[in-house]
Structure 1
Amino acid sequence: MKSINFTVFVLGVLLLDSCVLKEKVTTVKIKNELGFERTFETVVLSKSDLNMEDLSTVGIKDKETGELQQTQLVDNDGDAIIDDILFQPKIAGNSEKVYELVNVTDAERPKAEELCYSRFVPERTDDYTWENNKVAFRMYGPRAQQMIEENIPGGTLSSGVDAWLKKVEYSIINNWYKKEMENQGAYHLDSGEGLDNFHVGQSRGVGGVAIKKGNSYYFSKNYTKWRTITTGPIRTSFYLEIGDWDVDGNPIKESKIISLDLGSNLSKFEVTISGTDTLSAGLTLHEKDGELKENNDNAWVSYWQPHADSELATAIVVPQNTFLGFEKYDVETADLSNAYAHMKVDNNKVVYYAGFTWEESGQFKNQKEWESYLEAFSNQVNTPLVVKVLLK
């Protein structure tokens, strides 16, 4: 079972006198405390973790094999200084591996295709769309909202998360938008790569948020600002700011960082929110003809449903320390029936994971295999890789 990315707890701090790796050898020991192999799980090493000011020439080498690892350098704040180095180790169950930090040139650094990709799409109103080698998503911006409010055709008023059903491992975003600009409606037809036939409307789609008060759910309108943080072979991440909204007169401020890593079917949502102590993330129930499966022990919910001539499963996974329960919210109003995961807001922060699989992609054989994947995913969220940075 392939695993996915999670924020890793760095348990050791390296003390270096210099930001340059010369005579000193820095090692990174990574321990897997679960009983199965973990791959496609991203380890993040920051400047502060390594006590280094410049990561631009840092590479990571498997100490046992001497193989340079695929890495990605990330500038989180846009100041042209690298803040993090990412890589995805392969660690057998109940074991550990050791890696060394080495100096590398750009020519020496292993190259890979930029499969984790996202961008703002001004040619299609103002979508923000993201993908990896498994799945693709999008959300809608202020111009799309304005068009609805001014009765201009072609707008979208929704803070739900749309699913793009791709069935190829290469990037499709630019190709699908190009086809759509040339022939309106083109990306709603499957030309061999998949299609956009997932209805969002006012629903929560695949992981859109809401706040419950009484028997009603409240949610925001479209995002108002965006900033791409990174794209590359391992991760894409970006920032979205949401326009101020309210819950029955109570003001809410919200922003989020969304990331998607190589090999993952679920995006990570890191929400910053004020004005509420709880937050819910939802999955649309569409025609209400699917099977809803809730696992309260491991804090995941999945909705397996018929979809056109195929089947589709959506899911949310919540860290156990903030999980408050699930609810099937079934009403008559179109698009408002959702399966919700309730979460505790801790210091104005909430983290959860949401995503999907499509039968046509061939990624999972059946519902049981998908749910086993969610079990493994939850175990990894709640038992992160143990990372120690050491100096020899």
Structure 2
Amino acid sequence: MKNLNSISLLLISMLLLPGCNKDKPQYRISVTNGLQVPRKGETVSVRRSDLGNITCEEFSRFFVQDARSGAYLISQVIDEDRDGELDYLLFQPDLEADETRVYNLVTDVDSGSLPVTGISTFSRFIPERTDDYAWENDRVAFRTYGPTAEQMVVDGTPGGTLSSGMDCWLKRVDYPIINKWYKKTLEEGGSYHEDTGEGLDDFHVGASRGCGGVGVWSAEEQKLYTSRNFTRWETIATGPIRTQFSLTYAPWSTPFGMMEETKIISLDLGSNLSRFEVRVSADGPVEEISVGLTQHEKDGTNHADQDNGWFSY
């Protein structure tokens, strides 16, 4: 698990260096690990706007090179706000304790010099399995439930799910398994609930919050109010470093008025944790927005640090 408190200690600075061609400047990025422990595969995000007046086409042609070794790193560009303009360049360096390394952004690279990897992040809408949306990296996989699964419950059709909770799949392998597991379950007579060597889905969500669902807590009623299944989805990015997507939920009733909810979820390679950016609006003041983590049979141990804003189970 990545240490959430240490993220701010990964320091990044950028220099604009004059190149042989003044119309094609080079950029040098200095990354510092301020901790006394190694940082392996931590994501560095370079904002296009920080590089000055550079076009999306130029930005998309950049490759990341270790200035010391000359080796190239895997990278990915993302249009995060979906406006048709690239926003970020991502790469994942390895840094030793208290180490600073410099990386060049270069163009016109021989394709034979670039690294090749068989592992990646991935996400997609799953219409063949009652409108799931599933996402994964090299360590974990997740899914949540769409409108068809909700309508099946409303109609009394077996196989539906009525929940905005998050399901967690446990992986034993680093390669993508989402497409393979759905095909095994839907077409080949197998089941992703059974471990045949790659892992399984053994985390029951039901009507709970699962692993990261949210709700509005009413202290007076001692009751959690939640949205239903997502109604709209959009894939923002999927690639070797990050997959990112948005989910929108239909307005839902609470003691504080009608609520609206949108999630932007991302998962980076090498991380056990998805990042949830949750946007909610209400007709009136809301007492408390809660995040749920389901305890099955109340086993396990809870850990929390309220001052630093995290908890785990």
Please say if 1:247 is aligned against 2:254: yes
1:106 to partner: Cα distance: 7.8
Q: Which residue of 1 aligns with 2:309?
A: 299
Q: Which residue of 1 aligns with 2:265?
A: 258
State percent identity of aligned pairs. Answer: 47
State the alpha-carbon separation in 2 of the partners of residues 9 and 188 from structure 1. Answer: 39
Q: Which residue of 2 aligns with 1:203?
A: 208
State the alpha-carbon separation in 2 of the partners of residues 45 and 277 from structure 1. Answer: 37
Secondary structure of the structure 2 residue equivalent to 1:242: strand
Q: Which residue of 1 aligns with 2:236?
A: 229
1:167 aligned to which of 160, 169, 172: 172
State the alpha-carbon separation in 2 of the partners of residues 258 and 152 from structure 1. Answer: 29
**Whose RCO is larger (CA < 8 A, sep 6+)?**
1
Q: Which residue of 2 aligns with 1:152?
A: 157
Q: Which residue of 1 aligns with 2:73?
A: 69
Please say if 1:53 is aligned against 2:55: yes
Q: For residues 1-392 of structure 1, what are the structure 2 equivalents within 5 Å?
A: 24-51=25-52, 52-54=54-56, 55-78=59-82, 81-105=85-109, 107=111, 108-183=113-188, 186-214=191-219, 215-275=222-282, 276=286, 278-303=288-313
**TM-score (norm. length: structure 1):** 0.70
Label 1:83 to 1:106 Cα distance change in 2 as closer, same or farther (>3 A). Answer: farther
- Maintained 8 Å contact 1:120/1:128: yes
1:77 to partner: Cα distance: 4.5
State the alpha-carbon separation in 1 of the partners of residues 281 and 36 from structure 2. Answer: 39
State the alpha-carbon separation in 2 of the partners of residues 281 and 117 from structure 1. Answer: 24
1:113 to partner: Cα distance: 2.7
State the alpha-carbon separation in 2 of the partners of residues 296 and 79 from structure 1. Answer: 36
State the alpha-carbon separation in 2 of the partners of residues 121 and 245 from structure 1. Answer: 24
Q: Which segment is superposed worse, 183-192 or 117-126?
A: 183-192
- Maintained 8 Å contact 2:142/2:166: yes
RMSD between aligned alpha carbons?
Answer: 2.8
- Maintained 8 Å contact 1:7/1:42: no
Label 1:43 to 1:11 Cα distance change in 2 as closer, same or farther (>3 A). Answer: closer
1:277 to partner: Cα distance: 6.4
- Maintained 8 Å contact 2:11/2:31: no
- Maintained 8 Å contact 1:14/1:49: no
1:89 to partner: Cα distance: 1.4
Unaligned residue ranges in structure 2 (runs of 5+):
none
State the alpha-carbon separation in 1 of the partners of residues 290 and 211 from structure 2. Answer: 12
1:278 to partner: Cα distance: 3.9
1:233 to partner: Cα distance: 1.2
Label 1:296 to 1:78 Cα distance change in 2 as closer, same or farther (>3 A). Answer: closer
State the alpha-carbon separation in 2 of the partners of residues 239 and 68 from structure 1. Answer: 31
Equivalent position amino acid for 1:62 in 2: D
State the alpha-carbon separation in 2 of the partners of residues 8 and 244 from structure 1. Answer: 39
C-alpha distance after superposition, 1:164-199 (max 9, x if no partner):
111111111001000111245611111111111211
Equivalent position amino acid for 2:261 in 1: E
Secondary structure of the structure 2 residue equivalent to 1:264: coil
1:204 to partner: Cα distance: 0.9
Label 1:202 to 1:179 Cα distance change in 2 as closer, same or farther (>3 A). Answer: same
State the alpha-carbon separation in 1 of the partners of residues 196 and 93 from structure 2. Answer: 35
**TM-score (norm. length: structure 2):** 0.87
Equivalent position amino acid for 1:32 in 2: N
Equivalent position amino acid for 2:242 in 1: R
Label 1:82 to 1:112 Cα distance change in 2 as closer, same or farther (>3 A). Answer: farther
1:300 to partner: Cα distance: 2.9
Secondary structure of the structure 2 residue equivalent to 1:178: helix
State the alpha-carbon separation in 2 of the partners of residues 207 and 260 from structure 1. Answer: 13
Secondary structure of the structure 2 residue equivalent to 1:175: helix
Label 1:270 to 1:16 Cα distance change in 2 as closer, same or farther (>3 A). Answer: farther
Equivalent position amino acid for 2:181 in 1: W
Label 1:23 to 1:227 Cα distance change in 2 as closer, same or farther (>3 A). Answer: closer
